[in-house]
Amino acid sequence: MRARLRFRRPRRREPEHYPPGPLRELAAAPPAGDHTPVAAVAFLALDVETTGLDPRTDHLLSVGWVPVVGREVVLAEACEITIRPPGEVDVGPSATFHRLTDDQLAEAAPLSEVLPRLLAALRGRVLLAHHAPLELGFLAEASLAAYGARPTVTAVDTLALQQRLLPDHDREVDGVLRLDAARRAYGLPRYTAHHALTDALAAGELFLAQVAELERRLGREVRLGDLSPAHSG
């Protein structure tokens, strides 16, 4: 196996660093440590649909998540919520990807109602996403705007993990790291893309296949630290 990818590992902030509310509650219930076997780690596969790719200027339009616990995707706890963008913001050309229209979102919940639910779902869990910096970025900016601080989150990126698992000569092939392409490498079925809950489910299933492959290569049980988790806060 190649050396782990390097991530910034800031010191975890104590719950008292955060104002009372969702961020403090999240910090008070950290996920398992890096030495914990993956089978004993609670994950939350997450996907977001947005007006664009810049968390500083674009807006969340929907979030979808599903827990992955004990090497199983817990469909009974899956959730998807559409989000009404603020003020006069419209979805613009992003609708061609996620198919969410201004009319559909006009009666959706505001982010102020959705964010606490998402942060509560993350308590004690490791965030799991395909290209996790996107989800982490929007989560951080939303929390900063709402609570004045960024959340304490541990995350595993299935895109980065797939990059590690691919042979060297395949890593530069155009599109090979996309979620659908990565799933095909493990014989997983094809799902419609750019739908928050479906993409979260797809990332969760891909993750379980990747863990099985990594376990085969290592010849032992995979621990959280083997997945190069990113720690933000």
Mean of the pLDDT values across residues 186-206? Answer: 97
Instruction: Please answer whether residues 105 and 136 qualify as being in contact, where contact means their C-beta atoms are separated by less than 8 angstroms.
Output: no
In this prediction, residue 168 carries a pLDDT of: 76
Q: Please give the Cα distance from 206 to 223 (Å, whole number).
A: 17
Q: Which of 8-17, 75-84, 171-180, 202-211 has the lowest mean pLDDT?
A: 8-17
Say if residue 2's pLDDT is above 50.
Answer: no
Mean of the pLDDT values across residues 26-36? Answer: 96
The number of angstroms, rounded, from the C-alpha of 121 to the middle of its chain's C-alpha atoms is 12
Say if residue 202's pLDDT is above 50.
Answer: yes
Pick the CATH number of 25-232 from 3.30.420.10, 3.50.50.60, 3.60.70.12, 1.10.600.10: 3.30.420.10
Q: What is the mean pLDDT of the chain?
A: 93
Say if residue 1's pLDDT is above 60.
Answer: no
Say if residue 11's pLDDT is above 60.
Answer: no
Q: Could you tell me which residue, 64 or 167, shows the higher pLDDT?
A: 64
pTM metric for this prediction: 0.93
Instruction: Please answer whether residues 171 and 163 qualify as being in contact, where contact means their C-beta atoms are separated by less than 8 angstroms.
Output: yes
Mean of the pLDDT values across residues 95-103? Answer: 93
Q: Please give the Cα distance from 87 to 110 (Å, whole number).
A: 11
73's CB contacts (< 8 A; 6+ apart) are: 45, 66, 67, 201, 204, 205, 208
Q: Which of 3-7, 80-84, 212-216, 222-226 has the lowest mean pLDDT?
A: 3-7
Q: Is 122 exposed, middle or buried (0-12, 13-18, 19+ CB in 10 A)?
A: buried
Q: How confident is the model at residue 4 (pLDDT cuts 50, 70, 90)?
A: very low
Q: Please give the Cα distance from 52 to 33 (Å, whole number).
A: 33
Q: Is the dihedral of CA 119, 120, 125, 130 positive or negative?
A: negative
Q: Give residue for tokens 């489910």.
A: 201
Mean of the pLDDT values across residues 182-197? Answer: 96
Question: Both tokens of residue 99?
Answer: 């198919």
Q: How confident is the model at residue 232 (pLDDT cuts 50, 70, 90)?
A: confident
CA distances from 109 to 63, 95, 99, 118 (A): 11, 18, 18, 13
Q: What percent of the chain has pLDDT over 70?
A: 94
